[in-house]
Amino acid sequence: MTAAARWLPVKPSPARPPRPVAALTGLVALLSAICAASLMSGSYPLGLGDLVRTLTGAPPSDMAATVLWELRLPRLLAAALVGAMMALSGAILQNVTLNALADPSLVGVSQGAGLAVVSLIVLLPEFEPGWRPLAALGGALAASALIQALARPDGDAAPMRLILTGVGIAAFVSALTSVLLTYGQFEQALSALAWLAGSLHAATWTEARMLALVFLLLLPPFFGPHVP
């Protein structure tokens, strides 16, 4: 299986898009439009004028200010940051494994984080939700380390083995999570299940602030020197 590393390769793309300024401008415009649409829509609709007035400090009503500043903005920021960070981790994984189908949720990293948080919720309910990000980090790191340790690194097939080992670890870890969900205390299992489904419903400034901090800390390495 010598051609293994070339299965499903990432297409070699130019180092920079052909017209970086135009592409960037277009993407920023699109992002702004989506942000505005997201902030305006909901069970309490806001017009574009109301939106601008509220953001500039002259809200049409207290209700508008509360809805925007306390509910929609933190949720919007959390959604944008979560999306950006998920996409970046996929990009890194695809680059490292030379494989266009790699994704943290297919190869066990997300499952490791999930098992750690579900364990925290079900087995150690006395810990507050604030510990969940740390648990998730620990779980994801442990799963990645396990995958690295188990995937034989030699030869052409190394990137493929990394992914397939991850698929196996994902299945194992998901089964452990299911055991916890099925046989843990019902109340805690239910709250773990709700968390596992993945939702931005409860995002507040606390979450948004923490995501922003992590994002800013982890962003600089992307602009470091290229490793061939």
**CA–CA separation, 41 and 207 (whole Å):** 21
197 binds other proteins, rule: CB under 8 A: yes
28-33-36-37 Cα dihedral, nearest 10 degrees: -140
Site for other proteins in 1-20 (CB under 8 A): 1, 3-4, 6-9
* Helix, strand or coil, per DSSP, at residue 170: helix
x/- letters, 67..96, toward other proteins (CB under 8 A): ------------------------------
Least distance (Å) between residue 161 CB and other proteins: 5
**CA–CA separation, 16 and 6 (whole Å):** 23
Least distance (Å) between residue 201 CB and other proteins: 13
Least distance (Å) between residue 118 CB and other proteins: 14
Asked if 46 contacts 64 with a C-beta cutoff of 8 angstroms, the reply is yes
**CA–CA separation, 156 and 166 (whole Å):** 17
Asked if 36 contacts 51 with a C-beta cutoff of 8 angstroms, the reply is yes
H helices within the chain, ranges in order?
Answer: 20-40, 48-55, 62-66, 73-97, 109-123, 132-150, 158-183, 186-196, 205-218
CA dist list (Å): 53 to 5, 47, 57, 65: 55, 10, 6, 10
Q: Which is nearer to other proteins, 11 or 16 (CB)?
A: 11
Q: Which is nearer to other proteins, 72 or 161 (CB)?
A: 161
54 binds other proteins, rule: CB under 8 A: no
x/- letters, 158..187, toward other proteins (CB under 8 A): --xx-xxx-xxxxxx-xxx-xx--xx----
Q: Which is nearer to other proteins, 23 or 171 (CB)?
A: 171
Least distance (Å) between residue 138 CB and other proteins: 21
Q: Which is nearer to other proteins, 6 or 209 (CB)?
A: 6
User: Number of C-alpha atoms within 13 angstroms, CB side, residue 75?
Assistant: 16
Task: Return the structure tokens found at 97.
Answer: 């494994």
Part in contact with other proteins (CB under 8 A); list of ranges 45-53, 58-66, 154-162, 219-227? 154-162
134 binds other proteins, rule: CB under 8 A: no
Which residue reads 């396990």 in tokens?
Answer: 146
**Residues lying near other proteins in the complex (CB under 8 A):** 1, 3-4, 6-9, 99, 101, 105-106, 150-152, 157, 160-161, 163-165, 167-172, 174-176, 178-179, 182-183, 197
